[in-house]
Structures are given as structure tokens and as C-alpha cells.
Amino acid sequence: MPRSLLLQLARLGDLIQSLPAISSLHSSFPDQLFDLLCSAPLTSIGKLFPGIQGVYPWEGERWHDLAIMDGVDQGRFVIAAEQYLADCAFPRYSVAYNLNNHPRSVLASHLLSDRVVGAGDQGPLHLSLPPWVAYLRQIANDRGTNRIHLADAFCGVCEVNPPAVVPTIEATHVDLPTDLAHMVNDGSWERVGIVLGAGDGDRRVPIAVWRQFIEACIDQLPNCLCVLIGGLGEREAALALEDQLPPSYLSRLFNCVGRTSLPQLAHVFNRCQWVVGSDTGPLHVGVACGARAIGWYFSRARVHETGPYGVGHYVWQYRPGTDPGKLGGQDLNGLPQPPGSWPVRETLQLIQGQHESANASEWELWKSYRDECGMFYMNGEQPDSAVPQRKIIWEQLSAPSGNRDLNVGRHSHMAGRWS
Amino acid sequence: MNVFQENVSILRSQDPALASQVLNTPGGILSIHPAKSGQPTAVVKNRSIHSSYDPIREAEQWAAHHAKDCQAGEVLVVLGVGLWYHLEALLAKVSQDSLIMVVVPNLQEFVDGLAVRSLKGWGERVKWVWGDPEPMARQVAQQGRRVRLLTYEPALSLHSDAYDAFRLQLRQQLAKRASGTLHVMVVGPIYGGSLPIGGYVVRALESLGHRVSWVDHSLHERGYQHLNTIRDDRLRMTVQQRFSDTLGVISLAHVAEDPPDVVLAMSQAPLSMAVLEQMRRKKVLTAMWFVENFRHLTYWQQMIDGYDFWFVMQQAACVEAFKHAGASHVSYLPLAADPNIHQSVDLTEQERAELEADVSFLGAGYRNRREILSALLGHEWTFKLWGNEWDNCGTLAKVLQRNGARIDTPTSVKIFNGTTVNINLHSYTKEGFDPDGDSVNPRTFELASCGAFQVVDHRTLLPDLFDGTMMKIVRTPEEFVPAINTYLHEPEQRRAMAEASKQHVLKFHTYVHRMHTLLSAMGLASPDRIGAILQGERQAESLLARSGESPELIPLLNTFSKQDRVELVDMARAIRLKGPEAQLKREELLILMMDEYRQEKRDFL
């Protein structure tokens, strides 16, 4: 069976957003096997992806060590690098689907396969980008009125359509510590995963806000168990949060922060009904594991690009400047100003099934839908004019023969869907 | 035939002169006893040269520790002879392609070994190097291969002076053969005496053909000095520390942007331990030329682990103190002159009127100078005093020039040239001459380089650098006046001595000489990196000659000039120049990949 490789060397959020592309590739090419190459710390979650045969770790640290070896000339560098690749035991791939327009990813694609689809498809030094990669770069730079979701754009990069069914991750065969196992197996609770934050500091929600939200959940949702989610970097914040809560609330709070591997985290999320948090990797893991999401999108996060993937998710998008008291400018680091208020009460109402169309001060509520062009979010009952534009963009970028400079693609596996 | 005779026979086939020499040399240095394991072991003055339990096992541990760094084709120079257990063990662990040269500074010790341990089966692979340090060093350097020094300390300490002399000679021999060019980043202080020295160092390194990046923190002096307007001491010191830390991070950013082979910091360079630690993590070698009196300025104690190499301008006590504090490499490196700056110049009429004098002193107003120089007033000669920090200097105020303004280097050179007898008095914070005065100040070299005559106070390290035919050396403050009186009236002798000192500087004491010494010391201690580069191993010609294991790189290496230094970054650049349509070979992709990771800056700051 021919074997293909999908390369996603970016962070957890991007890896999860690649799941639809993997799913779509798998259904488009049922006679092929697909392997995944991802950042070494993420391989354990990659192994849970449906449709993936093997997961290979990309060890940036190892490459870095090779590159700064003492007293070694180029010949020995090459020998050492070849040895490293041989130790990894990569098969030879018929196609490499490269999702990152980064030199390392482009070079890795060409090292592992003679044919590359996606970034670097014309050669490792070629400057022109395939239409979908150029589009993603343009969105990253200009943003504009884009409504094509990143995960769907990844499908475009791989020359396939968005998947017919939203893929999910199941992590049922994962061992958990006793208390965690007890928590996830107790069927009497409605679990709300609360992602304290991960990655960049500008995406963190203040502890005082989370305290407010947890108190509201526990006060107003009789069967609610709040599950704190985060990595080791959030451990202190989680402990501080526990300290600040009245003792009577602690029996309805479960602190998983810094205690779980990625598969264990997925297992916990498999048992959560909701996940609430900012645009971070764990939020998207929660979504992929079947929880409904309510995202709080602020700083650089944009609902239309990286909103939770699937149907029925919500995103509160912060819109600086809607508050007449604030200018919506940037802080000293060039980042957007942090929100002055948070949609705590409104989020709780959504979990309770109320006020779907309400907007909070400075925050707009968006809800996710799907059609043949993939995901989109709407603020209100009717799609705005940007939503149907997606079809035109798909047609332009996926046209079978076109001029790259005009962002017109040539992807054969998509042809005819909307024609 | 006994062991000794058998050994002599083996030696004769390798080195007949050595064989005949050992026959005429008595032993008796080593006291031989059986170890618990039954093997002979050696003791000198109650100090064991090998284990008294199991010398073979001990030697194997030594060899295992050293062999892991050794690479095929190198010359492994072993310092420390003893009973050779360590040599046998080393031979068993290193490539057949390595040449092992053992430095024998004392034949009596060698004869003791020949009497009790056999060379049979392994001695043929060893080259014994004996004689005077200079020819021994030449013999090693002539091999034309990468040299790695391995020291067997218990035996080395028996003849440490001889080994030091050998090392010095080897450094010089290797420096003569150095053809490779380094990228050296020189980091200067914000201000102070080491700032101009930093400039001389930069010029010297450039004149040796190295690529130099000069991180000049004097650009920030005005801002730093302005912090003195903060009145609260604690607050001011905190802010100054933060300012200095920021300059350290700026230095780190320069390293990240254009990684050097070596970061050479001058005294007072604002590099914190955190910054130095980060450089070490990124495998950048660091060196500090500490051009301060280690007894007066003691911040080196906190920084000792931060630098890979220390160079100091004081000997013995200083070197010992640094080693005791934990410095892994510390070397004596005296100051020098820059003949392009410190030179004979003609003064204009106007300059002569202002700057000429029978007797001058240029320097800051330290306590001993205030006292001693006062004695130079009221004589028949003209006396001018130049320099700053002379507030409240009493009677000296009437000879203080330019109201005690700081004198820049070009003016200093003119003053030196325009003075008949230059007084050179080393600073001391008490009265008289510093009783511990060892290091020689830059002014000594600068005056000499200008061809200016000087009367200088005695320093313990001065005789190693200059002698009494080049300058008048006084041992007590009282000798200044008679010396001035004498030499003011001896123009020929004065001129001859000044000229001799100038020629001596040009021959031995320029910053070019110092940088040669500094880099060769680093090269010897770091054969894989600095040593390899200095010996030209990174030049295209040498890489081509060694491309047997990876012949696929030959076409790419051929695109460089033979003498070009070729690093990963250069190969990557050459590959990228092939253009966007290029179909790259696998090895080219690998080089580009490693270059991507080599450029990693994210974790630098």
C-alpha cells in the first residue's frame, strides 16, 4: 500500500486543527496509509488521531544539538544527521503533505518524500507558494474578512475538501490516576472543563475571572463539576484559584492542571460536556474530544480562523473599541489591549441553554455551523455576506489549472464539488 | 636480556639518539614499590605517581576519561611520564590513526621507568619527545595535525616548570603555523581603562586576519553616567545594575545575530553570569582579559565560573588565586602597546609650547603619586603634571595642566614624545611604592613604543618584559630625582635606551603579539574548535582533503576558494544561491536543515 506522510510541526492547537485534513485525506485516498510527523512532545496525542498509521516525532532539540556539534565539519554533520534519520526509521513516502510554510517543515518534506503537496511543493528553495498556503499567509498578515477556517484551509493545502463528518478523538484506553478515574467515571455530573490558559501569556484569563465563573457555575448548575485544565505552567495559577475559592466549593472542583499527559487529558475531555477557555491548544483538544466549546477569543485570536471546529460551538469574540471608554489600541508589546470585562454571566446562560443570540458589552457571540465549504461562524440568525464568499474562494484556490500569482490553484481532488 | 636492555633495544629502532642517551643517564627520581596488585608503582617524596593498589585500573580510568574526546588522526601529546601505565591504557582506547607523542622533560625519570616496565608490544607506537622545550615543541607542531594535550597530573607535577615551558613554546610554534581565521567578538566596558585596550585588541585581531565584531558599550556611557544624578545610593546602584544587565542582553543579541567563535570580554564588560551561562549553553567560548589588579578589584571572584578562559596581567599569586577560585584555564598575558597609535610623532609649534617639558607625569591622582611627585617640584627642570582626579593636590596644582582634564590617547602620545624624561609611577592607594607591585602598566609599553624615555618604578614582572638598558628602573621613591638629574644631561644614552625599548616593544610587546598568544592558548586548550580553526582545518582546501567520508560534498566545497573558511552557514548560503528552481541533493537538504537550527535565536534571550 502506498504510504503518505502529513507534516505538522507547529504547536498543539495547529496539530488538532489538522485533524479534519487527515480525516479528509483518509476518506479521499482509502487505498493509502497515512503517517504523521509532529513535534516530539505531541506524538502521544497524534497517536489518538483516527486514520493515522504511524506517528513520528520531530525532535527539534536533537537537530539543534547536531547543528552546534563541537569541532565537526560539514561532512560529519551530514553523516550524523543521516544517522539520526536512519535511527528514526522513516519509510520512504510517495507523498508528503506539508502544512507549515516554514523552512524546516519544507526541508523535512523533501527529505522524506520525492513529492510534496502543500508548502514547498515546487522545491525546497522555490519562492512561490501553492494557492492555499499563500492564502493562509495573506490571512496571517492582513486578516481581512476571511471566513475560511484554518482547519478547512489545511484541507485545501492537502488538495482535499473539508471532511464530510467532523472527526473526533477517543481516548478510552488510557490509564488514569485513581482520583481522576473516579471523577471521569462518575456519571452523576455534568462536567465543564475550564482551560486556565496555555502558551502565550496574552491568552490567559485572569484568575479572578475564573473564580467568578466557577462560583457562578457551582451556584447555578446543580450537577456541575468544574474541571480545571492546564499544563505545568498553570499549576501555580490553579493552586491560587483553589485558595481563593470558599472551601464549600472545592468539592465541586477538580484540579487536573499539570497532572495529565495529553492522552489522559483527552480521556478527561471525552467525559466533559462543555469546555470553556481562550484560544489555546487544550481548548481544541476538548473540542476534538467531543465537548461543546465556549471560547473567549481576545488578543490575536479570531473566531473565523481558529474557532472550535464543529457544529454548535460558541465563541465570545472580544471587540475592543465597542466600549466608548476604551480606544481598542495596543499595549506596549504591540498586543491588543486585554478585555476590561468578561462574559461570565453570559457564558453560564449559554450552558443553561438561554440567550443564544445575546451580545455582552465589548463581546460578540458567534455560533458555529457547517456546510460544504467547511466551518463558519454566525453572529445572529442569518449569515452575513462573507459566508457565501467562501465558496468563491474555494473555487478560485482549488481550480485545476491556474496561475499561482493570482492565487488560483490546480487541485484535482476538489474539482467538481461546487461546479 | 633484562627489561632495561630490552627497552633500550626497542628505543634504538625508533630513536637511536634517545637510546644512547638513556644508557648514559642514571635513574633515581622515582622510588619504585610493588602495588597491592603486584605491579610496580612509583612514589616521589611520599607522593604517589600511580595507584598503590591497582595502577592498571587507575590508568584505564584516566584513559577512558581522556580518550572520549580524542579523534582519529590527531597528535595526542601526553604530559606526564611516570611508569607509563596511562600511556598503555590510552593506546588501547584511541584510533590507530592517532599519533601519541610523550613529552619527556627529564631522562632520569624515564630511565626509572625503563628499568621496571616493558615497552614491548606498545612502545613502538609511541613517539618520545625529549630535549629542550623549543625543539620539542617544534617537533610536535611539525606534524601538521590537530594537537590535543593530555595531562597525567601526578607525573606532570614532578616537572611542572619544564612542562609550562614546553606549553609556551608549543603555543608559539602552533601560532606560527596558524592559517585559519576566527570570528572574535570583543565586548568592551562602558568606560574605563580597559576601553582603549579593547580598541587596540580589535585592531590587533583584524591585523592578524580574523573577523572581529566590536561590541562597543561606550556608546551608552552618557546614559550610564547620567544615572549618577539619582541621589539615593541604593536606588542608583539598582538602576545602574539594571542598565548594565541590559547591556549584557544587548551583547547576547549580537552573539545571537552573528555567532562568533570566541567572545573576548575586556575588564568591566557588562556581561552577567546569566548572560555568560546562556553563551555557554549556545556553545560560544568566552574569554576575559582581566587588565586589573586582582587584589584591588575582586569582582572576578563572582565571575570566575562564567568564562572559559581567563587572561590576567599578573603572575604566580594571581594565577594561583584564579585557579583556586575555580578557573579552568588561566594564563598570564601582560599588557602591550599598539605601534600604530603609540608612535613617534612630530609636534607643531603650538603643541610644543603646550605639551613639551623636561619632566612630565601623566596619570590619575593616586595617593602615592601625590606624595612622590611633590618631590619633583622646585628643581631646575620644567615639570608638567597631566591627568584627572587631582583635586586638592596642594602644591602640585601649579604644575597641573588643563585643570586636571582627562587626556585623550592622541594627546598622551604627543606628551610622551614632547617630554625629555617621562615619569612612570604605578598607582598605589597608600604611600610609596606598592610592596606587592607586580604587574606592569600600559604606560610602560606605550612610552617605549613611542620611543620616549622613561623612569619607572620597579615591578616584579618588569624584568621579564624590559631591562635596564631600555629604561631607568628605580627601586625607591628617593631615586627619582637623581635619576632625572642624570638622564636630563645624558641625551645620547637617553635616546639609545628609548630606541632600544621601542625596538623591543615592536619585537615582543604589541597587542598583535598578545592576541597571537591569547588565541594560541585557547587553540591548544580547545583543539576541536579554536585549535582546528586556527590550524586551517575549516578552510576549503583542508575540508576537501578530508572529504573521504562524505564525497558528495566535494562539488559544493569546490565552489569556494581554497583558503576560504567554510562553515555550515557558508555551505548553506552557497546552496541557497543555487536559486529557487534548484533540485537539491539529500546532503544539501540536510545542511540547510542544520543551518535552520543553527540559526535558532528563540532560546537566546
pLDDT in tens, B447-475: 999 999 999 999 999 999 999 999 999 99
Please list, in sequence order, all residues whose beta carbon lies within 8 angstroms of the beta carbon of residue B121, skipping any fewer than 6 positions away: none
Q: How many angstroms separate the CA of residue B149 from the nearest CA in chain A?
A: 16
| B376 CB-side CA count, 13 A | 32
As a whole number, mean pLDDT of residues B400-411 equals 95
Contacts of A122 in chain B (CB under 8 A): 580
In this structure, is the dihedral angle defined by the CA atoms of residues A94, A100, A106 and A107, taken in order, positive or negative? negative
- Whether the predicted pLDDT of A326 surpasses 50: no
pLDDT in tens, B536-580: 888 899 889 888 777 888 988 999 999 888 988 899 999 999 999
Q: How many angstroms separate the CA of residue B160 from the nearest CA in chain A?
A: 29
In this structure, is the dihedral angle defined by the CA atoms of residues B170, B172, B178 and B181, taken in order, positive or negative? positive
The band of A226, judged by pLDDT with boundaries at 50, 70 and 90, is: very high
Record: contact B543-A75, CB cut-off 8 A: yes
B235 touches chain A (CB under 8 A): no
Contacts of A107 in chain B (CB under 8 A): 589, 592-593, 596
A79 touches chain B (CB under 8 A): yes
Record: contact A103-B578, CB cut-off 8 A: no
Least reliable range by pLDDT among A78-87, A235-244, B126-135, B324-333: A78-87
Distance of CA A19 to the CA centre of its chain: 9
SS3 at position B142: coil
- Whether the predicted pLDDT of B398 surpasses 80: yes
CA distances from A95 to A258, A307, B86 (A): 37, 29, 56
- pLDDT at position A187 is 84
User: Is the same domain home to B381 and B440?
Assistant: yes
Domain assignment of residue B555, given as a range: 536-598
- Whether the predicted pLDDT of B289 surpasses 50: yes
Cell of B289: 582579559
pLDDT in tens, B158-168: 999 999 999 98
Cell of A321: 473599541
User: Is the same domain home to B501 and B549?
Assistant: no
CA distance A209 to A198: 16
Record: contact A126-B553, CB cut-off 8 A: no
Q: What angle do CA A409, A415, A417 make, to 5 degrees?
A: 125
- Which DSSP category does A188 fall into? T
The band of A328, judged by pLDDT with boundaries at 50, 70 and 90, is: very low
A73 touches chain B (CB under 8 A): yes
Domain boundary among B160, B177, B194: B177
- pLDDT at position A330 is 56
Closest to B141 measured CA to CA, from B531, B548, B590, B528: B531
Asked, for residue B359, whether it belongs to a domain, the answer is yes
Per CATH, which fold does A3-120 belong to? Rossmann fold (3.40.50)
CA distances from B410 to B205, B342, B358, B385, B399 (A): 21, 8, 20, 17, 21
Asked, for residue B339, whether it belongs to a domain, the answer is no
- Whether the predicted pLDDT of B604 surpasses 90: no
Record: contact A64-B597, CB cut-off 8 A: yes
User: Is the same domain home to B133 and B35?
Assistant: yes
Record: contact A75-B596, CB cut-off 8 A: no
Domains A3-120 and A178-378 belong to one CATH topology? yes
- Whether the predicted pLDDT of B420 surpasses 90: yes
- pLDDT at position A417 is 37
B601: closest chain A residue by CA: A64
User: How many domains are contained in chain B?
Assistant: 4
As a whole number, mean pLDDT of residues B279-302 equals 93
How many other CB atoms sit within 10 Å of the CB of residue A106? 27
Closest to B461 measured CA to CA, from B305, B288, B312: B312
| Phi, psi angle pair for A399, to nearest 5° | -60, 140
| Phi, psi angle pair for B19, to nearest 5° | -60, -45
Domain boundary among B299, B333, B367: B333
Least reliable range by pLDDT among A199-203, B42-46, B88-92: A199-203
Contacts of B537 in chain A (CB under 8 A): 73
Asked, for residue B201, whether it belongs to a domain, the answer is yes
CA distance A105 to B188: 40
- pLDDT at position B538 is 87
User: Is the same domain home to B382 and B418?
Assistant: yes
SS3 at position B570: helix
Beta strands in A119-235 (DSSP E): 190-195, 224-229
B523 touches chain A (CB under 8 A): no
> Maximum Cα–Cα distance for chain A, whole Å?
67
B489 touches chain A (CB under 8 A): no
User: Is the same domain home to B292 and B353?
Assistant: no
User: Is the same domain home to B449 and B320?
Assistant: no
- pLDDT at position A403 is 44
**B380 residue type, one letter:** E
As a whole number, mean pLDDT of residues B96-123 equals 93
Cell of B530: 579554536
Order of strands across the sheet that contains A116-118: A54-58, A33-39, A3-8, A95-98, A116-118
> Maximum Cα–Cα distance for chain B, whole Å?
87
Q: What angle do CA B517, B519, B520 make, to 5 degrees?
A: 65
- pLDDT at position A334 is 59
- Whether the predicted pLDDT of B514 surpasses 70: yes
As a whole number, mean pLDDT of residues A14-28 equals 97
- Whether the predicted pLDDT of A406 surpasses 90: no
Of the candidates B529, B581, B600, which has its C-beta nearest A64's C-beta?
Answer: B600
- pLDDT at position B603 is 67
- pLDDT at position A70 is 64
Contacts of B576 in chain A (CB under 8 A): 125
CB distance A379 to A364 below 8 Å: yes
User: Is the same domain home to B265 and B358?
Assistant: no
User: Quick one: residue A299, left, alpha or beta (phi over 0 = left, psi -120 to 50 = alpha)?
Assistant: left
The mean pLDDT of chain B is 93
What b/e readout covers B546-575, taking b as 16+ CB neighbours within 10 angstroms?
ebeebeebeebbeebeeebbbbbebbbebb
pLDDT in tens, B19-76: 999 999 998 899 999 999 999 999 999 899 999 999 999 999 999 999 988 988 899 9
Domain boundaries, chain A: 3-120, 178-378
User: Is the same domain home to B110 and B247?
Assistant: no
- pLDDT at position A321 is 63
Count residue pairs from A and B with Cβ separation < 8 A.
103
As a whole number, mean pLDDT of residues B155-184 equals 90
Asked, for residue B454, whether it belongs to a domain, the answer is yes
Scanning B24-102, the segments in alpha helix (DSSP H) are 55-67, 85-93
B538 touches chain A (CB under 8 A): yes
Contacts of A111 in chain B (CB under 8 A): 586, 589-590, 593
Contacts of A60 in chain B (CB under 8 A): 597
B458 touches chain A (CB under 8 A): no
- Whether the predicted pLDDT of A74 surpasses 90: no
Record: contact A60-B597, CB cut-off 8 A: yes
SS3 at position A377: strand
pLDDT in tens, A265-296: 999 999 999 999 999 999 999 999 999 999 99
- Whether the predicted pLDDT of A307 surpasses 60: yes
Least reliable range by pLDDT among A188-192, A379-383, B422-426, B600-604: B600-604
User: Is the same domain home to B402 and B463?
Assistant: yes
- Whether the predicted pLDDT of B211 surpasses 90: yes
- pLDDT at position A419 is 25
User: Is the same domain home to B31 and B161?
Assistant: yes
**Residue B489: Cβ-neighbour burial (10 angstroms; 0-12, 13-18, 19+):** exposed
Of the candidates A73, A75, A107, which has its C-beta nearest B592's C-beta?
Answer: A107
Domain boundary among B177, B208, B233: B177
Q: Considering just the CA atoms, what is the radius of gyration of chain B in Å?
A: 28
Closest to B598 measured CA to CA, from B183, B308, B307, B284: B284
Q: How many angstroms separate the CA of residue A95 from the nearest CA in chain B?
A: 17
Mutate to test the interface with B, among A65, A69, A77 (most CBs of B within 10 A): A77
Contacts of A88 in chain B (CB under 8 A): none
As a whole number, mean pLDDT of residues B333-354 equals 96
Asked, for residue B158, whether it belongs to a domain, the answer is yes
**Residue A122: Cβ-neighbour burial (10 angstroms; 0-12, 13-18, 19+):** middle
Asked, for residue B460, whether it belongs to a domain, the answer is yes
Find the length of chain B: 605
- Whether the predicted pLDDT of B129 surpasses 50: yes
CB distance B450 to B355 below 8 Å: no
CATH code of residue B482: 3.40.50.2000
CATH annotation of A178-378: 3.40.50.2000
Contacts of A74 in chain B (CB under 8 A): 543, 550, 553, 557, 566-568, 571, 591
The band of A184, judged by pLDDT with boundaries at 50, 70 and 90, is: confident
Percent of chain B at pLDDT exceeding 70:
99
- Whether the predicted pLDDT of A408 surpasses 50: no
- Which DSSP category does A206 fall into? P
Check residues B199 and B532 and name the one with the higher pLDDT: B199
Order of strands across the sheet that contains A224-229: A253-255, A224-229, A190-195, A274-277, A292-297, A314-318, A363-371, A374-378
A176 touches chain B (CB under 8 A): no
- pLDDT at position A333 is 56
Record: contact B549-A79, CB cut-off 8 A: yes
B279 touches chain A (CB under 8 A): no
| B125 CB-side CA count, 13 A | 19
As a whole number, mean pLDDT of residues A367-395 equals 92
Of the candidates B528, B571, B584, which has its C-beta nearest A71's C-beta?
Answer: B528
| Phi, psi angle pair for B245, to nearest 5° | -60, -40
pLDDT in tens, B360-385: 999 999 999 999 999 999 999 999 99
User: Quick one: residue A214, left, alpha or beta (phi over 0 = left, psi -120 to 50 = alpha)?
Assistant: alpha
CA distance B277 to B275: 5
Q: Are strands A314-318 and A363-371 parallel, antiparallel or unpaired?
A: antiparallel
User: Is the same domain home to B289 and B424?
Assistant: no
- Whether the predicted pLDDT of B350 surpasses 60: yes
pLDDT in tens, A116-164: 999 999 999 998 999 999 999 999 888 778 899 999 999 999 999 999 9
User: Is the same domain home to B405 and B547?
Assistant: no
Closest to B518 measured CA to CA, from B323, B309, B328, B338: B309
Q: How many angstroms separate the CA of residue A1 from the nearest CA in chain B?
A: 25
- pLDDT at position B51 is 94
Element (H, E) at A209: helix A207-220
- pLDDT at position A407 is 38
Q: Helices (H) and strands (E) in chain B — how many of each?
A: 27, 18
